[in-house]
Structure 1
């Protein structure tokens, strides 16, 4: 399959447009300047050659009037200007002051004009460079005078002018490209601010706003973006409050139902079928209660981490407290207590709850919680939680952190489907990341990475 060509970016397009515009403008100006200068120089050269030819023709005519003076003697008596040749046609014969070229060929274009009794001026390309031919009739001596002046100086001047104009056009094109680059950077700078703000909003920082500007063209964009973020923030807060309110309103009747079912389970005289039904109701109600608690936790997280109380806490201390709070033995934490506990800046209750959710996930879906290991690095701390299961398929390792997503397990259907999503949102709002990978023995390993808090460690 042939790959589609990549379209140039906006900055490249603007730079190219400026460069092409500058090139076209400079070429037009250079061409106009060259043609105007060439016209002036050519006219000036023609006037100079005409004056010189009239002067030389007068000298030749006066010499020919002298009795006994031949045409060759008359030509030799006149000193032509540098680069010029003189020709005289008399009685059908051609006489020349130079033997370089035939006067008949050089004067071919002006001979009809001179033959009619007028002065003729024309350019010829028979020389290198071109030459100016001036023809003057001499009726007093029954002759025609021709003077051929090679335009060496004019050619050199025009060549120098053309080179200078081409260099100027090239420099103008480069200057236009540089100006286009600077202009595109200036134009794209607000778009870069919008992109950075949008990225910050997508990462969950809904307090991000664009700064007000006095630019009337950008004020509309800034106002629309900030209004969009405000509306998004309000919508998320309404949804979070709605979920929290619903969960809170359901907590009381659920608690009443659990208490009633507990009393019913302890009652005597229930048949085996009724006791089994009561047990199923109790399990489903417990699952429903866990889902309500998770929804309340998600509602608090959606309200923002800024409402939490962040304190520097040891990573091993967090892992150990999560084990104790969930009723698990401390020996599941494999760490070197002799080394300083790496510190992280977290809201302690939220992070403990997140770790407990990972532990519970290992028990519910990973055939049992195996161990937790805390590893420290120069810039971050990692908490590794390993289970005893067969591992999570690669295609489900990212999806299991979505809300109400499950990937099977030994006790499928016992969780709320919100535990790992709470973990992901909690860790992300603390500036960290969480992912699922596989261990050497094929089991699943969940890794929570949090930034280190060096200030507490130095203290």
Structure 2
């Protein structure tokens, strides 16, 4: 499982900066604390050593003990006793759970041990104050670093989100959108390089697609006149089976040319819908009755939608034709608000269509002798895009009888 599931770049960057700030603050605080403690202890030992020397001089001259000095103190730590046995002066720090106890000893001329024991509480309190200051400073560094991470990460996240939105618009067929212009800003960073690369890729793909679309449209347009003449000439043939076959094939060729021209126009992203307010239930009921009288129409909830009736009729006709050609009776059409659903009871859509969407000249059948050229669903999808509607395909579960289900969601 990822450490930051579905989280934004802002919070990832903020968390990373916060972690680094904590590590740096803790490391520096430990270094400063240890350095200050070592310095305090060394200074205390130096002071204690000077005191024990002064106390020794006064004791040897006057016989008096100053600075609370003790002779042969039974609490003297063992390491100091060993130093004294060797005739050496030494200091020793004893941990007491709070302020450390600093010892100092020195042998006397009469063979005894003069020692001092002092707790430097004032210096220890300075160390405590230093620790508190380090804690406050560390918290300030962590909070400041996190806030900086939120600021920088937020700016980068906003730029990337704008780039993603612009890239989706380009993918939806809007050739006017440029990712670099969408992200804006004066800062020049890797996001600008990414945006420029996406724009360059989109321009190259658009040029290639436009070139292919023009070739397809030109070919279909050039074929339109001779095909129309062929259809007209076929109508003049004398009655008979050969003439019927010629007329059928000529009409199929004419339909193919018209469909190819329509696909080319839809690919050009220049098509505009003539939007009108349409009562969806009544519209679908009348069109289905004309296109497929055997289909069953159910209006669960009627709705008024803002759409182009001609294009909607084209989508509806292609979906019904696909259901009649590849499905099994009866075709069911249901309207639930702006949601239109068409279902047959056949084998369902092919897996590659569900996975990749409609593809040109792919019919799901190896029989190429019929009138189906695999452009119906492609045209329906393109017309839905012009209407700013959403057309999806799925298969009904086998437990519910199976079949292909096309779903169209129209804007109200």
TM-score of Structure 1 vs Structure 2, range by shorter chain: 0.7 to 0.9
| Match status 1:132 vs 2:109 | no
Alignment check: 8 A CA contact 2:101 2:117 kept: yes
Structure 1 residues 270-349: aligned runs within 5 Å:
275-304=240-269, 307-320=272-285, 322-323=287-288, 326=291, 334=297, 342-349=303-310
**Distance in 1 between the 2:342 and 2:206 partners?**
34
Q: Which residue of 1 aligns with 2:91?
A: 122
- Once residues 105 and 366 of structure 1 are traced to their aligned partners in structure 2, the CA distance between those partners, rounded to angstroms, is 99
Change (3 A) 1:286 1:355: same
**CA displacement 1:253-283 (0-9 Å, x = unmatched):** 01111111111144xxxxxxxx433332322
Q: Which residue of 2 aligns with 1:385?
A: 342
**Alignment of 1:21 onto 2:59:** no
Structure 1 residue matching 2:362: 3-state secondary structure: coil
Shift of 1:308: 3.0
The range that moved more, 196-205 or 393-402, is: 393-402
**In the TM superposition, what is the alpha-carbon distance from 1:19 to its structure 2 partner?**
3.6
- In the other structure, the counterpart of 2:386 is 429
- Consecutive unaligned residues of structure 2, counting only runs of 5 or more, are none
Distance in 2 between the 1:57 and 1:197 partners? 87
Which residue of 1 is the match for residue 70 of structure 2? 86
- CA gap of 1:56–1:429, structure 2 versus 1, over 3 A, is same
Q: Secondary structure at the match of 2:164?
A: helix
The SS at the match of 1:448 is strand
Spell out, residue by residue over 1:198-244, the C-alpha distance to the aligned partner (whole angstroms, 9 max, x if none).
23333334433232443232444333333333333333333223222
- CA distance in structure 2 between the partners assigned to 1:317 and 1:24 by the alignment: 69
Measure the CA separation in 2 of the matches of 1:23 and 1:374: 59
Give TM-score scaled by structure 1 length. Answer: 0.72
Question: What does residue 202 of structure 2 align with?
Answer: 229
Question: 1:157 Cα deviation (Å)?
Answer: 4.9
What SS does structure 1 have at the residue aligned with 2:361? Answer: coil
In structure 1, which of residues 386, 395, 405 is the aligned counterpart of residue 351 of structure 2? 395
CA 1:13–1:361: 2 relative to 1, 3 Å: closer
Matched, 1:215 2:176: no
Unpaired segments ≥5 residues, structure 1:
65-73, 88-93, 115-119, 267-274, 453-459
Q: 1:197 aligns with which of 143, 166, 181?
A: 166
Mapped to 2, the partners of 1:296 and 1:369 lie a distance apart of: 32
Greater Rg over alpha carbons, structure: 1
Question: Which digits, 9 at most, give the CA deviation of each residue in 1:363-397, with x for residues without a partner?
Answer: 33335674543332xxxx1223344x534157366
Distance 1:32 1:409 in 2: 78
Equivalent residue, structure 1, for 2:408: 448
Q: Distance between the aligned counterparts of 1:418 and 1:344, measured in 2? A: 26
Q: CA deviation at 1:30?
A: 2.0
Query: Equivalent of 2:116, from 148, 165, 169?
Result: 148
Judge conservation of contact 2:213–2:268 (CA < 8 Å) in 1: yes
